[in-house]
Structure 1
Amino acid sequence: MNKNVNYGNWVPEKMLALCYVAAAVLGIAACVTGPVLHLVIPAWILGILAAICLVYGIYMHICHELFAFGKGNMMAKVHQHLVDHLEWDGEGTLLDIGCGAAALTIRCAKAFPKAKLVGMDYWGVEWNYAKEQCEANAKAEGVADRITFHKGDAAHLEDPDETFDATVSNFVFHEVRSVKDKRDVVREALRIVKKGGAFSFQDMFSQKALYGDMEEFVEELKKEGVIEIHYIGNLEKKLDFIPGYAAAPWMISGMGILYGRK
């Protein structure tokens, strides 16, 4: 891995710090409440909460190392899985919706050396990513001359219909808050793909609370004009590089891929 890039992590270091700090504070409170104040039951409750925070922090730390570029590399492998399902010759322009720190955008730039690329993201203070970070990463990886980045909303893309030859997105659609129905985010992503253009999207597609019946949704998209579309669900159970502990309900449970040609 290029030491000059910072692609971040799906488990932010701030979250790890919060877990460990909470465990320490609750542990100290338990020690004070029990031996000092002689409040046995509250002390036990605080102690149990401290243990839960500590165990959760350790679990998330393990996941952090698993996901990290240059370490466990699972984020890189997930991105490669998406690119492997993008049936595109690399001629033209590609949009990465929700590019984060541009890890997927840059992977696409290297996979398709003739392509021009656009990375779009909402960014914001709650995410450990920024436009400047994307630009620095692209420069460090030697592909800055073919990529531009801009801020945007995945549910309301500024691009006209059929703008791009290819479109990708990874674990973004379920995070979009400007629309309630996540299927509308998928439709918006398809709107800006040219007729005959390629797309590859990965998200929590197998979570029915988010997307309902995906087989039914695929049929709807076919009727709406998508000429070729494939769906593979529950990838966390099918991809050998995803260990069972990373497929917890709050992690990568319900992962699916939607790909094809418009």
Structure 2
Amino acid sequence: MKEKTNYGNWVPEKALYLLFGLAGVFLVVTVLLGVMVQMPVITVIAGVVCALTFAMAVYMLVCHEAFAFGKGNMMAGVHKHLVEHLDWDGEGKMLDIGCGAAALTVRCAKAFPKAQITAMDYWGAEWSYAKEQCERNVRLESVADRVSFQKGDAAKLDFADETFDAAVSNFVFHEVRSTKDKRNVVREALRVVKKGGVFSFQDMFSQKALYGDMDAFVEVLKAEGISEIHYIGDLEKKLDFIPGFVTTPWMISGMGILYGKK
């Protein structure tokens, strides 16, 4: 049997199993309360909880299918949008910050066949991704000779200033737990880009609780030496491949892109 790549999903299968499992437990509890205990009020409450849990499970399953590579392909569309905003000739070294299962890494490797790509991530069981999974995916995609992986912290990259000709990152900065100010994660990503190098970052930039006033932040970055920088916010309302049902506060909300040249 031919091996297949595994890029995971923004809705992990473990979460689906948990939600449907909980719905099943609440269903059993509801039936037992109704038949054996005969406590109408508590039975109704348990039934409502069961129905809500099942509804959330179904919703998350629909989102999972919309995101999935080879199905709804929304994740692929988001990666494509990021790469389309990277104005680069592909000559030199690229860094993928927070590569997850290397889906964006592979897209970049195919879009820029002359590039040497370093991809880093914190990985760990809580994220449902692993370095070995990344290495397997790039091997199956026939780009392993131009890609290397290493474990690291996006808030403190293990690279010297101006190491890379290009840098990308997708939905990572807001997840970094080692620093409270997410703007500093952006600055750290820019630190390792060469003067004249390019970058394209997508994250929850339009969420003011995370980044504050992004227009003001763009002006600050310009004052700090970034020669060309653009910001587009609320992308979930502007990109036609993102279905409305995923644009909820707990799924995709406040998506933005920050791109340009250092």
- Please name the residue that 1:49 is paired with: 49
Taking the aligned partners of 1:39 and 1:176, their CA distance within structure 2 comes to 47
Correspondence 1:225 to 2:225: yes
Q: Tell me how far apart the structure 2 counterparts of residues 212 and 45 of structure 1 sit (CA, whole Å).
A: 40
Partners of 1:84 and 1:17 in 2: how far apart?
A: 35
Cα shift at 1:27: 1.1
Distance 1:184 1:161 in 2: 15
Deviations 1:124-174 (A, max 9, x none): 111111000000000000000000000000001010100000000000000
Counterpart of 1:12 in structure 2 is 12
Specify the code of the residue in structure 2 equivalent to 1:157: L
Does 1:136 find its partner at 2:140?
no
Unpaired stretches in structure 1, ≥5 consecutive residues:
none
The separation in 2 between residues aligned to 1:79 and 1:164, in whole angstroms, is 20
Structure 2 residue matching 1:260: 3-state secondary structure: strand
CA offsets, 1:205-261, max 9 Å, x none? 000011000000000000000000000000000000001101111111100000000
The one-letter code matched in structure 2 to 1:131 is: K
Task: Give the match for residue 203 of structure 1.
Answer: 203
Measured in 2, the distance between the counterparts of 1:33 and 1:204 equals 44
Deviation at 1:79, TM superposition (A): 0.1
1:101 aligns with 2:91: no
Query: Match for residue 171 of structure 1?
Result: 171
What CA distance in whole angstroms lies between the structure 2 residues aligned with 1:193 and 1:93?
10
Equivalent-residue separation in structure 2 for 1:156 and 1:200 (angstroms): 19
Note the alpha carbon deviations across 1:52-95, whole angstroms, 9 max, x for none: 11000000000100000001111001000000000111000000
Partners of 1:42 and 1:162 lie apart in 2 by 63
Aligned-partner Cα distance in 1 for 2:214–2:227: 17
Structure 1 position 44, deviation (Å): 1.1
Give the letter for the 1:226 counterpart: I
- Structure 1 stretches of 4+ with a deviation exceeding 6 A read none
Q: Which secondary structure does the structure 2 equivalent of 1:99 belong to? A: coil
Residue 31 of structure 1 is matched in structure 2 by 31
Distance of 2:124 and 2:44 partners within structure 1: 39
Q: Tell me, yes or no, if structure 1 residue 260 matches structure 2 residue 260.
A: yes
Gap regions ≥5 residues in structure 2: none
Deviation at 1:46, TM superposition (A): 1.0
What is the CA–CA distance in structure 1 between the aligned matches of 2:252 and 2:166, rounded to whole Å? Answer: 25
The DSSP-based 3-state class of the residue aligned with 1:226 is coil
SS at match of 1:126: helix
User: Residue 65 of structure 2 aligns with which residue?
Assistant: 65
Q: TM-score, normalised by structure 2?
A: 0.98
Aligned to 2:184: 184
Q: Secondary structure at the match of 1:201?
A: strand
TM-score normalized with structure 1 length: 0.98
2:146 aligned partner: 146
Confirm or deny that 1:127 pairs with 2:133: no
Note the aligned Cα RMSD (angstroms).
0.9
Cα offset, 1:3, TM superposition: 6.0
Q: What are the Cα deviations for residues 25-72 of structure 1, in whole angstroms up to 9, with x where unaligned? A: 011111111221011111111111111110000000001000000011
Query: C-alpha distance in 1, partners of 2:162/2:29?
Result: 59
